[in-house]
């Protein structure tokens, strides 16, 4: 299944009868780096024969693994054929780095992975990649769940990104590395580590890449240490769409804050020298560098790609002249390091080794049950979570953090105040907790929820970010990998939607695709839902939560009151810390400063309970809370729906009494946990009622109530089920919002059957 590029390599090398004096680029030709390409030697580039041989070995192995991928697919044993052929010069970057430098790689990084594995004794890149290609449970990174480049012992963090959605994570990790020392945060990598990430030229145009590169440039402009090496592998084509000539170089050269360097993939000595210089610059200066590597794409985009549908045969064959494997063989021959026969023999030896290794790995054991596939998403550590959720900083530390005035001694708190106190407790207990987002530092957040945290804990732990949610979440992803427990804030729920793939495609998948070996536990605070008075429109009153409930493994909770919030904050932080869970706390903006359930009663404030007094039941995503002791109707709700339902119950009782009737005796059940829903607890509570009314402030289609009703039906609940929801509408500005949002009158009518 190797085809023309295999034949071309052998024919080209066998044609060399004498000593070669140059590389594939003619002497004097200007390369991407802007320098003249000349015959390579140690004196010119500082590249030793041994290093050039290491490069060739990694490139050979990567190429034959690409051949094996297509052979295995033809045999029905392989399931992935996007290869690295033509990109193998990226192995030079791996050889310039240390195996302890974190690498977040895109899918054409086979040469890099083979070179990185060659730096670590006992590693077996061929077995790793073959097992990944065949979805073997023995795959050392994903356990058979996907074809990814990754290995914890090689510090290669698995990415499935086909575009550039991993670049914000790389930015976040580089940003976090140099913040560890002053804060005393432990880390899995050395203090002078460099983070490297790779992407293709077509992905440079993606908004995710543009946002991350812009954020990196601004950090560098501000003088913030950022040891980030971005490798752009430029083959000039994105599947079938040509990148305009010169566009990628012009774009990358113009990036503010970056040092730009370039290397020609057909000049292996230049690649090795430029990569070494770039890595050293990043490592010593702690400033970002972008390395623009010219490559070609050989054998098409993937095994199913018919290149002749969009490229001419002449164009395809012209790329053979830029084969980096031929270029490295040419350099070795020119230096008289290996003869023609030795080059061909080594090429065939690696082919045989890969083929033999593939045969020895058969038959492949694969995941054979849903439980096995989902294990990284379902593994739990309940004892550790319970202990962590009830842990507290020493008394002296708490008093210092709160300025000598503990919140439990301050009287009843609002929801916003209770979240602030819980975050303070959390930061006093764990030095690795960092809080960041738009306006969270000096301003203390738009609604004051983070007010005072920067003064208490300093600018290294509480800081403002760019107004870019992809960057905010990417910073959290990378910071978690660097040893921090990030608490990013998304200012409004509607703002999350332009960045939700950072949670879906990156954050929540890391444990899945690494078989639990890597994790990025975090607590994301999202300010949202509706019912703000005198302010809003759809950007500030968004009630769309479907995307968050649809992410496997993500924990989503919503506090309805000051009494609930601190326990949820600490429980979710415990999940993030102990189980590397991605947790989202959806905070109802309209309830932040609410004090009353009924006018003047102060019932929606609550005294603050210090951590050691918190019950362990609050640390389980599976236990709701009840209000009232009625036995006729169970109202199932959350967030704003809790106080609305309690007021509606009281109003229904008054209305029924005025008409000489009795209202149904009602208990209000606060779900608290929206994903996963507390199904078992809900079913147990519902069995004591003949009727369940689901009160859902989100939309009728795709809202929370759909999941609740389904859970009740699937669980065998035999009583009557009904629901009231907001409309399937974007929320308008002003009084018209009430026409599409769930109202207390809707709840009253549902309780009384619309008869009064």
The CATH H-level superfamily of 382-619 is Thiamin diphosphate (ThDP)-binding fold, Pyr/PP domains (3.40.50.970)
Per the DSSP assignment, residues forming a β-bridge with 195 are: 228
Distance (Å) of CA 275 to CA 90, 108, 587: 9, 18, 47
Q: What pLDDT, in 10s, does the model give residues 222-254? A: 999 999 999 999 999 999 999 999 999 999 999
What is the predicted pLDDT for the residue at 622? Answer: 85
What is the predicted pLDDT for the residue at 27? Answer: 30
User: What is the rounded distance in angstroms from the CA atom of residue 138 to the CA atom of residue 236?
Assistant: 36
Select from 61, 52, 196, 198 the least CA-distant residue to 128: 61
Instruction: Report percent pLDDT > 90 for the chain.
Output: 87
Burial of residue 93 (CB within 10 Å: 0-12, 13-18, 19+) is: buried
What is the predicted pLDDT for the residue at 37? Answer: 37
- What average pLDDT does the chain have? 93
Task: Please report which residue ranges of 482-618 form alpha helices under DSSP H.
Answer: 493-496, 501, 510-513, 546-549, 565-579
Length of the chain: 756
What is the predicted pLDDT for the residue at 250? Answer: 96
Retrieve residue 378's tokens. Answer: 């379902």
Retrieve residue 261's tokens. Answer: 């360097």
Task: Please report which residue ranges of 267-414 form alpha helices under DSSP H.
Answer: 268-285, 313-318, 324-334, 340-360, 370-378, 382-390, 395-401
Backbone angles phi, psi at 169, to 5 degrees: -65, -40
Q: What is the mean pLDDT of each run of 10 residues along the chain (756 residues)?
A: 87 83 38 38 78 98 97 95 96 98 96 98 97 97 96 94 89 95 88 96 94 97 97 95 94 97 97 98 98 96 88 92 97 96 98 97 96 95 90 93 94 97 97 97 96 97 96 97 97 94 95 96 97 79 93 96 94 95 98 97 94 63 90 97 98 94 95 96 96 97 97 97 96 92 97 80
User: What is the rounded distance in angstroms from the CA atom of residue 605 to the CA atom of residue 95?
Assistant: 60
What is the predicted pLDDT for the residue at 553? Answer: 94
Helix axes 207-221, 469-481, angle to 10 degrees: 70
Q: What is the 3-state secondary structure of 83-129?
A: CCCCCHHHHHHHHHCCCCCCEECCCCCHHHHHHHHHCCCCCCHHHHH
User: What is the rounded distance in angstroms from the CA atom of residue 468 to the CA atom of residue 477?
Assistant: 14
Q: Where are the domains of the chain?
A: 4-185+193-367, 382-619, 625-752
Identical fold between 4-185+193-367 and 382-619: yes
User: What is the rounded distance in angstroms from the CA atom of residue 609 to the CA atom of residue 605?
Assistant: 12
Q: What is the 3-state secondary structure of 135-195?
A: CCCCCCCCCCCCCCCCEHHHCEECCCCCCCCCHHHHHHHHHHHCCHHHHCCCCCCCCCCCE
Residue pair 93/114 in contact (Cβ under 8 Å)? The answer is no
Within 13 Å and on the Cβ side, how many CA atoms surround 540?
13
Residue pair 217/257 in contact (Cβ under 8 Å)? The answer is yes
Q: Which H helix or E strand runs over 721?
A: strand 720-726
What is the predicted pLDDT for the residue at 161? Answer: 67
User: What is the rounded distance in angstroms from the CA atom of residue 536 to the CA atom of residue 737?
Assistant: 9
640 three-class SS: coil
Sorted by sequence, the CB contacts under 8 Å of residue 124 that are 6+ apart come out as: 117
What CATH number does the domain located at 625-752 have?
Answer: 3.40.50.920
Q: What pLDDT, in 10s, does the model give residues 140-162? A: 999 999 999 999 999 999 987 66
Residue pair 91/112 in contact (Cβ under 8 Å)? The answer is yes
- Whether CATH 3.40.50.970 fits 4-185+193-367: yes
Please state, as a whole number, how many other Cβ atoms lie within 10 Å of the Cβ of residue 44: 12
Residue pair 267/23 in contact (Cβ under 8 Å)? The answer is yes
What is the predicted pLDDT for the residue at 463? Answer: 97
Select from 115, 88, 51, 49 the least CA-distant residue to 332: 49
Q: Supply the DSSP symbol for 74.
A: H
Select from 324, 426, 392, 434 the least CA-distant residue to 52: 324
What is the predicted pLDDT for the residue at 67? Answer: 97
Residue pair 663/751 in contact (Cβ under 8 Å)? The answer is yes
Beta strands in 374-477 (DSSP E): 433-437, 462-464
Residue with tokens 């550790």: 384
Task: Indicate the pTM of the whole model.
Answer: 0.94
Angle at 88 between CA 85 and CA 90, to 5 degrees: 140
Residue pair 421/406 in contact (Cβ under 8 Å)? The answer is no
User: What is the rounded distance in angstroms from the CA atom of residue 120 to the CA atom of residue 138?
Assistant: 19
- Known catalytic residues? 540
What is the predicted pLDDT for the residue at 162? Answer: 67
């Amino acid at each position: 299944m190797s085809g023309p590029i295999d034949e071309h390599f052998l024919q080209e090398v066998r044609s060399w009868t004498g000593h070669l004096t140059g590389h594939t680029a003619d002497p004097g030709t200007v390369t991407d780096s802007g320098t003249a390409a000349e015959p390579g030697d140690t004196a010119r580039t500082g590249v030793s024969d041994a290093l050039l041989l290491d490069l060739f070995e990694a490139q050979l192995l990567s190429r034959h693994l690409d051949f094996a991928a297509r052979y295995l697919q033809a045999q029905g044993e392989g399931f992935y054929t996007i290869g690295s052929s033509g990109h193998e010069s990226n192995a030079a970057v791996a050889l310039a780095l240390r195996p302890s430098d974190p690498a977040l790689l895109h899918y054409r990084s086979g040469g890099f992975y083979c070179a990185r594995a060659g730096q670590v004794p006992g590693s077996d890149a061929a077995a790793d990649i073959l097992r990944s290609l065949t979805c073997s449970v023995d795959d050392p990174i994903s356990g058979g769940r996907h074809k990814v480049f990754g290995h914890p012992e090689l510090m290669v963090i698995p990415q499935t990104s086909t575009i550039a959605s991993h670049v914000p994570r790389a930015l976040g990790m580089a940003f976090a590395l140099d913040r560890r020392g002053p804060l005393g945060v432990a880390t899995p990598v050395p203090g002078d580590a460099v983070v490297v990430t790779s992407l293709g030229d077509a992905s440079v145009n993606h908004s995710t890449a543009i946002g991350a590169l812009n954020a990196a440039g601004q950090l560098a402009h501000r003088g913030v240490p950022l040891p980030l090496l971005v490798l752009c592998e430029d083959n000039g084509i994105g599947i079938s769409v040509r990148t305009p000539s010169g566009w990628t170089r012009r774009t990358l050269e113009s990036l503010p804050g970056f040092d730009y360097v370039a290397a020609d993939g057909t000049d292996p000595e230049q690649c090795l020298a430029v990569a070494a210089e770039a890595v050293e610059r990043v490592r010593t200066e702690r400033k970002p560098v972008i390395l623009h590597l010219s490559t070609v794409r050989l054998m098409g985009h993937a095994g199913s790609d018919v290149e002749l549908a969009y490229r001419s045969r002449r164009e395809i064959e012209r790329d053979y002249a830029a084969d980096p494997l031929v270029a490295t063989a040419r350099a070795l021959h020119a230096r008289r390091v290996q003869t023609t026969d030795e080059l061909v023999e080594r090429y065939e030896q690696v082919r045989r080794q890969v083929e033999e290794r593939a045969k020895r790995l058969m038959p492949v054991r694969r995941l054979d049950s849903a439980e096995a596939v989902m294990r990284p998403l379902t593994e739990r550590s309940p004892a550790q979570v319970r202990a962590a959720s009830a842990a507290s900083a020493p008394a002296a530390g708490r008093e210092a953090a709160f300025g000598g005035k503990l919140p439990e001694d301050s009287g009843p708190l609002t929801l916003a105040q209770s979240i602030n106190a819980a975050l303070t407790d959390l930061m006093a207990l764990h030095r690795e907790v960092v809080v960041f987002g738009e306006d969270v530092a000096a301003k203390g957040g738009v609604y004051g929820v983070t007010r005072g945290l920067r003064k208490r804990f300093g600018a290294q732990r509480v800081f403002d970010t760019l107004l870019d949610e992809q960057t905010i979440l990417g910073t959290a992803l990378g910071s978690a990998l660097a040893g921090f427990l990030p608490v990013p804030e998304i200012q409004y729920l509607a703002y999350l939607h332009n960045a939700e793939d950072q949670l879906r495609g990156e954050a929540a998948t890391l444990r899945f695709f690494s078989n639990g070996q890597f994790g990025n536990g975090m607590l994301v605070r999202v300010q949202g839902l509706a019912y703000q008075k005198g302010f809003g429109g759809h950007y500030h009153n968004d009630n769309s939560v479907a995307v968050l409930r649809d992410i496997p493994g993500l924990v989503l909770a919503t506090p309805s009151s000051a009494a609930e919030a601190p326990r949820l904050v600490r429980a979710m932080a415990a999940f993030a810390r102990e189980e590397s869970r991605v947790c989202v706390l959806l905070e109802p903006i309209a309830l932040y400063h609410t004090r009353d359930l009924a006018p003047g009663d102060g019932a929606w404030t609550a005294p603050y309970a210090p951590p050691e007094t918190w019950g362990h039941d609050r640390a389980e995503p599976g236990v709701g809370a009840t209000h009232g002791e009625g036995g006729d109707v169970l109202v199932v709700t959350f967030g704003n729906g809790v106080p609305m339902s309690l007021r509606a119950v009281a109003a229904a009782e008054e209305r029924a009494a005025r008409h000489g009737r009795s209202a149904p005796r009602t208990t209000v059940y606060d779900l608290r946990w929206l994903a996963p829903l507390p199904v078992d607890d809900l079913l147990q509570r519902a069995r004591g009622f003949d009727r369940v009314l689901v009160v859902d402030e989100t939309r009728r289609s795709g809202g929370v109530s759909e999941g609740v009703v389904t859970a009740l039906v699937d669980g065998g609940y035999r009583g009557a089920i009904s629901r009231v929801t907001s409309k399937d509408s974007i929320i308008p500005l002003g009084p018209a919002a009430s026409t599409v949002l769930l109202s207390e009158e809707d709840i009253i009518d549902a309780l009384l059957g619309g008869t009064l």
